[in-house]
Structure 1
Amino acid sequence: MSQDAEMTCPQCQSPMSARTLGDVTVHQCTSCEGVFLERADLGNLIEAENDWHRDSGPKTMPLPRITADMTVPPPSRPVTRAYIESLFT
């Protein structure tokens, strides 16, 4: 499917906006918020989701010893429960 072609929602006939994250393009309806994926994009999403869960296990690091010269760490990124959540935030 051409990336330049304007898509309309099959449910409500409203225009759909494209969102790209990595190799995946998701088309979402601006009205009813339905989503459309091409088959290859669905496969890429499944692989990315599996990778995210494999790499999101507990990471235990030893606690550092507190010293006077320590600084406050930078704020952490918001925690997501799944890779696919990052498409809709």
Structure 2
Amino acid sequence: MDEMTCPQCQSQMSPRPVGDVSVHQCGSCHGIFLERADLGVLIEAENDYHRDSGPKTQPLPRITADMVAPPPKAPVSRSYIETLFG
């Protein structure tokens, strides 16, 4: 799988390392060819990247019939200055 011809423009494709996989890229149209297993590795790497970059939130609990409403929360100050005059 060293020498490949681009299916789009019939130019020479050259191997290029991307993360833990090797893809073939066309020098003319810049198209990419990779194996199905390599696509799975790239998708997992993308998911891992985004898993740690989003907001940290807890999942919402399921509502059941035996649940009661939580007690009302105390008002939260918008700033430190507001606590001085509140």
Name the one with the larger strand percent.
2
Letter in 1 for 2:38: D
Shift of 1:52: 0.5
Instruction: List runs of 5+ in structure 2 lacking aligned partners.
Output: 56-86
Please give the alpha-carbon distance, in whole angstroms, between the structure 2 residues aligned to 1:49 and 1:25: 16
Aligned match of 2:4: 7
Question: Highest Rg: 1 or 2?
Answer: 2
**TM-score normalized with structure 2 length:** 0.57
- What SS does the aligned partner of 1:26 have? strand
Q: Confirm or deny that 1:35 pairs with 2:32.
A: yes
- What SS does the aligned partner of 1:45 have? helix
- Can you list the C-alpha shifts for 1:6-61, whole angstroms capped at 9, x where unaligned? 11101111011211133211111100111111001000010000001012236xxx
Please give the alpha-carbon distance, in whole angstroms, between the structure 2 residues aligned to 1:17 and 1:55: 33
Q: Confirm or deny that 1:26 pairs with 2:26.
A: no
Letter in 2 for 1:30: G
- What SS does the aligned partner of 2:5 have? coil
**TM-score normalized with structure 1 length:** 0.55
Q: Confirm or deny that 1:57 pairs with 2:63.
A: no
